[in-house]
Amino acid sequence: MHYTGMRTAEEALDRLCNAEARVSSHYTIDEDGTIYRHVAEAYRAFHAGISYWAGETDINGRSIGIEIVNPGHEFGYRAFPDIQIEAVIALSKEILGRHPIRRERVIGHSDVAPARKTDPGELFPWQQLAGEGIGLWPARSDRAPSISFDEALCRYGYGIAPDGHATLEQTITAFQRHFRPSKIDGLVDAECERVLAELLAVIPDGSADQAHQ
């Protein structure tokens, strides 16, 4: 999931359809819910750039990119309209119906590229999507990790240098932007630990029995 980060939808669509720009995505969803298909799902689109997730660095070659029209942090970041999110949910369900994508692998650009990207950002309604079976959202509990926070981040899928391309602080910030948007400061606190422990407890490779005390 991305936001376009450009002033208008027209600018974003022109860029995504310009071969010289060397950037593309499989889909773009406008603020009015209109869905544009640019690249067939069987083909690579160049939307992720230098990135890392769960040991993989060729994210473009193993993902489906959805650009969501929003001016982004540079040009006046704003909430995503309901009709746009309804289209995101509908399209995502169709994609998940066609491909065996695990829920924790529905992620944002900032998750795979914490050193470079902030999209789709803290206003993106990840919790709403998770309620529709798209991605994960942590339950409320008293879980706490029994491993270090950086190890837990890597176990979930994040990349921290030298394996990934981001510092620990940048990775924590990306994690907060996705899963704890109420406070984004790059610092680990008890709530971050609880949230990550809950996420690890429900993923197949999360070693749930080690993720809590």
**Looking at the annotation, which residues are catalytic?**
67
Task: Identify the burial level of 82 via C-beta atoms within 10 angstroms of its C-beta, where 0-12 means exposed, 13-18 middle and 19 or more buried.
Answer: exposed
3-state secondary structure of 188: coil
Structure tokens at 145: 């990790």
How far is Cα 64 from Cα 107, in angstroms, rounded to an integer?
11
| CA angle, residues 34, 78, 19, in degrees to nearest 5 | 50
Specify the amino acid at residue 202.
Answer: V
Compute the 3-state secondary structure of the chain and give helix, strand, coil in percent, each to the nearest 5. 40, 5, 55
Query: Parallel, antiparallel, or unpaired for β 35-37 and 27-29?
Result: antiparallel
